[in-house]
Amino acid sequence: MKSSELPIPYGWYAVEYIDELAVGEVKPLHFFGKDLVIFRTESGKAVLLDAYCPHLGAHLGHGGEVHGESIACPFHGWEFDGEGMCTKVPYAKNMPAKIQDSPCIEGYPIVEANRVIWAWYHPRNIAPLFDVDILPEVNEPGWTDCHRFEWEINTCLQETGENGVDIAHFVYVHSSIEMPEAHVELSGHHRITTMHSRTPAIDENGVLDQTGENWEKSRLVTTSCGPGMTYQSFERMFTSFMLGTITPIEKGKVLMRWTFAQPEDQSDIQKMYSDGMIAEIARQVGQDIPIWEHKIYQPNPILCDGDGPIAKYRKWFNQFYDGGMDDAPIRLVQ
């Protein structure tokens, strides 16, 4: 089965960084298999609508202008607000009856949190079924943004998330010295993955112990809030926090973004190690991408007893497909 055959799951998805959409700004976007327009109204509210004007079909993201709380179409000046209601037809004596009481463009619920503009997508336009987690590390003073990364990848959300519980691939794709242990806890739309591994100890002079004799046990806890948001904090001799977002562009194509934050008062040497770790995990994504882009999705994989909690992960992910997927039982071959 190709990853482009899996449906787009419902959830909150990052569509833009808050600081990349100024008051009055209008941008075309393409997510969820749809052409979209995002704009920020004069009062500062971010709005996401389907792109095409219900009048004669102009794309509001190419030449549309913010007028107060609405966007004006570049073609004949009709205006639409954040709910997709037509607020003005500048040259009509009477508003067309059809658009007087109900929206005429599809809009998306929006939350601005964690430096990100999140849009709720559901294939049947059902209202949000859970909330975006609020993360102190990216909201409170004392933390600073340090790095942002972005990849457009020909795969689907379920596949990239599965990477985190697929412990064997760390050895074969990322050259980890040994397989980590992964434990998954599920609670509604949350998934918490705890990974135990051993990593080279770093002494007070910043020197890595490569002998393997004094390795530190490390524990990494990753929380997912629905299919489009994941976060983790790294605490060793430095502190670093990562927010990962993944947004469906089309079936079989995703935009993955990572943003890192760190405490402002971290020393230069701590920042240097944090930067080194961030560069390394970004490099590892580069190793995953060719696998993701060329693999198929195996709905009935043959798993062995050394594989990670893949079946548990899939059961959790399945809840975000509207109507579920017909997953046949997973075979375990030992």
Find the shortest distance in angstroms from Cβ 54 to ligand FES: 8
- Residues 227-266 binding ligand FES (CB under 6 A) are none
- Report how far residue 301's alpha carbon sits from residue 105's, in angstroms, rounded to the nearest whole number: 42
Q: Would you say 12 or 78 has its CB closer to ligand FES?
A: 78
What, of Fe ion, ligand FES, none, does residue 76 touch, CB below 5 to 8 Å by kind? ligand FES
Q: Would you say 51 or 117 has its CB closer to ligand FES?
A: 51
Q: What sign does the dihedral 13-19-22-25 (CA atoms) show?
A: negative
* Chain residue whose CB lies nearest Fe ion: 288
What, of ligand FES, Fe ion, none, does residue 240 touch, CB below 5 to 8 Å by kind? none
Contact letters (x/-) for Fe ion, 230-269, by CB under 5 A?
Answer: ----------------------------------------
Find the shortest distance in angstroms from Cβ 16 to ligand FES: 23
Question: Under 8 Å CB-to-CB from 90, ≥6 apart: which residues?
Answer: 76, 77, 78, 79
Find the shortest distance in angstroms from Cβ 77 to ligand FES: 6
Q: Would you say 161 or 228 has its CB closer to Fe ion?
A: 161
Find the shortest distance in angstroms from Cβ 287 to Fe ion: 7
Q: What sign does the dihedral 188-257-255-85 (CA atoms) show?
A: positive
CA dihedral 124, 72, 86, 110 (to 10 degrees): 40
- Residues 281-300 binding Fe ion (CB under 5 A) are 288
- Residues 41-80 binding ligand FES (CB under 6 A) are 53, 55-58, 73, 75-78
Q: How far is CA 149 from CA 31, 137, 180, 226, 286, in A?
A: 18, 18, 25, 21, 12
Q: How many residues does the chain have?
A: 334
- Interaction of residue 163 with Fe ion, rule CB under 5 A: yes
Strand partners, 89: none
SS3 127: coil
What, of Fe ion, ligand FES, none, does residue 14 touch, CB below 5 to 8 Å by kind? none
Write out the two tokens for 16: 């833009």
Q: Would you say 90 or 306 has its CB closer to ligand FES?
A: 90
CA dihedral 210, 214, 215, 217 (to 10 degrees): -170
Which of 15, 16, 72, 22 is CA-nearest to residue 42? 22
By CB under 5 A, which span of 147-155, 219-227, 280-288, 318-326 interacts with Fe ion?
A: 280-288
139: left (phi over 0), alpha (psi -120 to 50) or beta: alpha
Q: Where do contacts with Fe ion occur on this chain (CB under 5 A)?
A: 163, 288
Q: Where do contacts with ligand FES occur on this chain (CB under 6 A)?
A: 53, 55-58, 73, 75-78
